[in-house]
Amino acid sequence: MNVMQVKEVARQWVAEKASKEPGFYGAYFSGSVNWMPDSAIFPTSSDVDVQIVVEGSDVPDNTRKFRYQEVLLETAYQPSDPFQFPEKILGDYTKACHFTTSNVILDPFGQLTKVQEVVSRDYAKHKWVYQRCEHAWDSLLSSLDWLNESEPLHDQIFSWLYAASISPHIILVAGLKNPTVRKCFNEAREVLACYDQLQVYESMLDIAGVTNLTRAQAEFHLAALIEAFDVSKQYAKNPFFLSTNISDLARPLMIDGTRELIETGYHREAVFWITAVFSWCQKMLLNDAPADVKNEFTPAFRFLLSELGIYSLSDLQERNQLNRETLPSIWSAAEKVIAANPEIQD
């Protein structure tokens, strides 16, 4: 199916299902589908992200992946309150980029369309680019405080990796790009290369501990992840944040998408994602698997961490400190990208 066709399927689902839910306010596309040509074949390593906006400030904590008419959809909920003020969306680095395209699916009150009109008009203005970079900066600093010694190892690992992923987001926001997750490092590298700022890239990889890893190591750990993934998905019972990524439906994204990174020369960047997915597998196994299976893949997970230089909480704390120390140079590179970017207006 091409992109136009999968979008139409998503629109049908919103009209037939989501629009009937209590408090439905609207829906919009987010993610990579917004920048794909309508005639392009939709990749099997992607899903279609649909954000459902509901009235008020409280939203259901319910992210789902499911197939609808052979299209893999991922749906999540957003509160309507921020959408009353287009400036709030313009300054939000996680949301603004999606409204630079014709991303509105259904808008019974007309407010999402107003947001889209304002954001697409003012997105590239200097003031708003800076504000979104500052939002990413603040998000990074806030996420560094998530690391908690009382949490299980897999949760500590995810906290560290989440903060590490925001450094490339600052660069992507400065380059007017989508702050994606799985491909955040390699896409940030493309922006840095375009503006002659590659000197900071290796330091970003240092935070994730992948700088010196080889393709052979990446392939080894992907093979270990595949085994863990295929076992852990069988025991999914108690949902947690991002648990839908460990499922048959998500396998092409989590596994095939990672293999694609390795095969296109981004093996170091792939290990960042392998580690994140492995941490979710570990969480699922420890939460839901029987006693004789819970720790089956713990040695492989710990070996992966050892290759990243992670043996204890103190190592994670040191990486977070490195993240803080690297932030000024990343910010400086982002400022140079903004200054040289011909699309950014005064």
pLDDT digits (tens, 9 = 90+) for 89-112: 999 999 999 999 999 999 999 999
Residue 44: what pLDDT? 81
User: What's the CATH class of domain 3-122?
Assistant: alpha beta
Tokens of 23: 């408090």
Structure confidence by residue, pLDDT tens digits, 117-163 = 999 999 999 999 999 999 999 999 999 999 999 999 999 999 999 99
pTM for the full model?
0.94
The CATH 3.30.460.10 domain(s) of the chain lie at: 3-122
Q: 3-state SS of 168-224?
A: HHHHHHHCCCCCCCCCHHHHHHHHHHHCCCHHHHHHHHHHHCCCCCCHHHHHHHHHH
Strands 64-68 and 104-106: unpaired
pLDDT of residue 240: 86
- Predicted local distance difference test score (pLDDT) of residue 148: 95
For the record, the structure tokens of 242 come out as 């991002």
All residue ranges of the chain with pLDDT < 70 are none
pLDDT reported for residue 63: 87
